Structure 1
Amino acid sequence: MPRAAAIPLPMPQITHIVLIRHGETDWNRERRLQGQLDVPLNPQGQEQAAQLGKALAGERFDAVYASDLSRAKQTAQALADEVGTTVRDDAGLRERHYGQFEGLTYAEVAEQHPAEFDAWQNRVPEFAPPGGETLTEFHERAVQTALRLIRRHPGERIALVSHGGVLDCLYRHANAMTLTEPRRHELRNASINRLSSDGHQLTVLHWGDVAHLDLLVLDEVDRRVP
């Protein structure tokens, strides 16, 4: 008997993602840990968000998602207003929970919690600031949240507006970087970062675009502090 023809497997539908870090806050400028405390954008951050929205105004978005913290929601709203959609909140896109570190400057953490500061700066995966998340827990939450939202939109285009730590987790996942490797990629306020995904793996297409901003742009200060 003739062999039956093989049925071709369906090609995965690729989702395109614009990943955005929120605009600047006063605590960014003060090198003060925000974590999951709800700190709004400062005037410069509001202007960054407006410039971001205008830069992306000509693009189509099937959904805009944001962390439910004000600094991310305000940034996402500036984009949503330009592209004619609404912002959908998701707490899974929040920054890492830094527990007792939150509200302190980096210098204050180093002075008040020297052993914990050293473990944090050395990216010990199972270290958690008192009352906070381990790096492993945070990475798992950030990646799984992003993939969950991506799977809602196969073949579509979405924006995810989040925080520097979340951007770092997704960049590491896409590039198969370990949690302990020093960070060399930028995590700038209101930057445009483009990725694609089949719903399982992330691919970085373009990273760290701040050409749309005419203001000083700060980087996430999670690298070792002298």
Structure 2
Amino acid sequence: MDIWLVRHGETDWNLNRRVQGWTDIPLNQTGRDQARRLAASLSGIPFQHIYTSDLSRARDTGKAIADSTGTPLSTTPQLREQYFGQAEGLNRQDKDRRFPNGAPDAETPSMVEARVSEFLTEIAAKHPTGRIVVATHGGVVRAALRWLGQPDPVIHNTSVTCLRVENGVFSVSVVNAIPHLQARTDDESTAGIS
């Protein structure tokens, strides 16, 4: 089976390089357009289910895909971004200056990795075949890649990262694909993702 990890569309806090974490910041106009373009590019692809973070920026990105593909959708707090505690709302520079070792009440990267790996293992067991979408956050995608021994790449808004699961073994087939954002028209295919 395949799990397509989708990062949410852009928010104003992404633009201003502010730490979002669990703060529920909505998609901005660019983010809504990115989600619409991604959804249009996926419209002919059959998915069994879409799982999303319960934060609106990821949930709305997943809902755009669900509306375009007719796929059922469920939300879960397991797919939330890393919790940054007192650092949430600060711009990245201020966060690094005030909390060089991370905010004391923040979730650690290893905690996020454990949460994400548990979720991915559960859905792989629940859906042994087919294709699943997970609409989530950049930190969750990076945690999944770390869990699978991959480096920490940049993850663009509405990018698709594909995991393959065969006989319970996970592998990475695509990282940070954004053909829908590079396309000149909405009927551009998702070549290289499927």
| TM-score normalised by the chain length of structure 2 | 0.88
Task: Write out aligned runs for 1:15-26 (5 A).
Answer: 15-26=1-12
CA–CA distance in structure 1, aligned partners of residues 55 and 124 of structure 2: 20
* Structure 1: gaps (5+ residues): 1-14, 121-128, 216-226
Deviation at 1:194, TM superposition (A): 1.5
| Equivalent in 106, 121, 134 of residue 147 of structure 1 | 121
Larger-Rg structure: 1
Task: Write out aligned runs for 1:25-104 (5 A).
Answer: 25-104=11-90
| Equivalent in 187, 200, 214 of residue 155 of structure 2 | 187
CA–CA distance in structure 2, aligned partners of residues 201 and 39 of structure 1: 35
Change (3 A) 1:53 1:199: farther
Counting strand residues as a fraction of each chain, which structure ranks higher?
Answer: 2
Deviation at 1:214, TM superposition (A): 4.4
CA–CA distance in structure 2, aligned partners of residues 49 and 60 of structure 1: 18
CA–CA distance in structure 1, aligned partners of residues 19 and 129 of structure 2: 37
The letter for the 2-side match of 1:35 is G
Counting helix residues as a fraction of each chain, which structure ranks higher?
Answer: 2
CA–CA distance in structure 1, aligned partners of residues 80 and 96 of structure 2: 24
Superposed CA deviations along residues 136-181 of structure 1, whole A, max 9, x for unmatched, are 111111111122122210112110011001100111222x24xxx6
The letter for the 2-side match of 1:138 is V
The letter for the 1-side match of 2:73 is V
| Equivalent in 171, 181, 190 of residue 213 of structure 1 | 181
Deviation at 1:200, TM superposition (A): 4.0
Secondary structure at the aligned position of 1:213 is classed as helix
Residue equivalent to 1:108: 94
| Equivalent in 101, 108, 111 of residue 137 of structure 1 | 111
The letter for the 2-side match of 1:197 is V
CA–CA distance in structure 2, aligned partners of residues 146 and 95 of structure 1: 15
Count matched residues. Answer: 183
The letter for the 1-side match of 2:156 is R
Secondary structure at the aligned position of 2:135 is classed as strand
Deviation at 1:199, TM superposition (A): 6.8
Superposed CA RMSD: 1.6
| Equivalent in 164, 169, 178 of residue 138 of structure 2 | 164
Identity of aligned pairs, percent?
36
Contact 2:38 2:180 in 1 (8 A): yes
* Deviant stretches of 4+, over 3 Å: 198-201
Contact 2:48 2:72 in 1 (8 A): no
CA–CA distance in structure 2, aligned partners of residues 169 and 39 of structure 1: 21
Range with greater deviation from structure 2 (143-152 or 29-38): 143-152
CA–CA distance in structure 2, aligned partners of residues 99 and 186 of structure 1: 22
CA–CA distance in structure 2, aligned partners of residues 75 and 94 of structure 1: 13
Secondary structure at the aligned position of 2:180 is classed as coil
* Structure 2: gaps (5+ residues): 184-194
Residue equivalent to 1:126: none
